[in-house]
Amino acid sequence: MSTAVILMNLGTPSEPTAPAVRSFLRDFLSDPRVVEIPRPLWLAILHGLVLPLRPRRIAPAYAEIWGRSADGEPVEGSPLLYYTRRQAELLQEYLREQRPDITVTHAVTYGEPQLESVIARLRREGFESFTVLPLYPQYSATTTAAIYDQVAQIFRNSRDIPDINVVRDYYQNPFYIRALANSVRDYWEKRGPADKLLLSFHGIPKANIKKGDPYYRQCCETAEHLAAELGLNADQWQVSFQSRFGKAEWLQPYTDKTLIEWGKKGIARVDVICPAFAADCLETLEEISVENRANFLKAGGKDYHYIPALNLRRDHIEALAAIVEEKLPLRLRG
């Protein structure tokens, strides 16, 4: 049986311009999984305020990160799409000798390439089994569940449904935790250890957790596993949440406020890692690496570093391979 693995990430504008950002945000923020405000109210806000104003504000931020990585090296176009495509290519290369029966490709939830078109192409090529791997280590209804929705919609009217499996999460997978720890160790070996390590996860509204979303618990468990792997004491690290949107209360403590508080307290050196991001993107390269660095230094901090996402690290690709092998249907495992 021909088997395909599809790596999936959120998506990105096609170019760093206001019209392209508007098109991406319209697709992204129209998804009821992403924003759970009552639809008539939210659609009025989205089309009356957000889409007319926000693209012009954030297009320059996309322009700043376009074509560059966390370490300043050039990449092709959108960093998120570049890394997702290269992750698929490297995973294919890694699996080639061990699992020549597996083909690896990529898709995004919003933007291009769409999951529906990728699956349609693969089915035309004769693939009968699919494993979809969302590059979200921690499950949330706002991210991974949206992929489940798309899979269900794609095959809603199909009579001959292929064998398809979606990886729900991998927040405590030992290979993933080890890759995170190795990235911190490698960074500290070059620059020395920080006074504080901040583990900043993408935020979601606190109300979502009250409704049963397991994201907060999984983030905390990832952080605890990583701290244990690094041998850190409780006062050497902390969890925080970034990228809040709107006026509702989101998961706390907030990353920006935490860094301002640490700067005021005289903490000299802070390193930040974002374990929920498999690839660097706007939220890491601009919000964490630039905006929050400025917040910390302005508040009195002396030294601030962002530790890049796992991106194309060899141990990250090995972790993805282990996750794929674990999640393949039993009859397809090596």
Q: Which residues contact 149 (CB under 8 A, 6 or more apart)?
A: 33
At 332 the pLDDT is 57
Instruction: Report the amino acid identity of residue 326.
Output: E
Tens-digit pLDDT profile for residues 266-313: 999 999 999 999 999 999 999 999 999 999 999 999 999 999 999 999
What CATH code is assigned to 3-170+315-332? 3.40.50.1400
What distance in Å separates the CA atoms of residue 282 and residue 290, rounded to the nearest whole number?
10
Nearest to 284 by CA among 325, 243, 334: 243
Are 1 and 332 contacting, i.e. CB atoms less than 8 angstroms apart?
A: yes
The reported pLDDT for the residue numbered 31 is 98
Statement: 174-307 belongs to CATH 3.40.50.1400:
yes
Query: In this structure, are strands 237-242 and 196-202 parallel, antiparallel, or unpaired?
Result: parallel
State yes or no: 202 annotated in a binding site. yes
Please list, in sequence order, all residues whose beta carbon lies within 8 angstroms of the beta carbon of residue 309, skipping any fewer than 6 positions away. 70, 83, 274, 277, 278, 279, 280, 284
116 is in an annotated binding site: no
**Helix ranges (DSSP H) in 142-253:** 144-154, 174-191, 206-210, 215-230
Dihedral sign, CA of 121, 122, 128, 131?
negative
- Predicted pLDDT at 2: 83
Query: Is the fold of 3-170+315-332 the same as that of 174-307?
Result: yes
Q: Mean pLDDT for each consecutive 10-residue tract of the chain (334 residues)?
A: 92 98 98 96 97 97 94 91 98 91 96 98 95 98 98 95 95 98 98 97 98 98 98 98 93 98 97 98 97 98 97 98 84 55
User: Could you state, in order of their start, the residue ranges of all structural domains in the chain?
Assistant: 3-170+315-332, 174-307
pLDDT given at position 246:
85
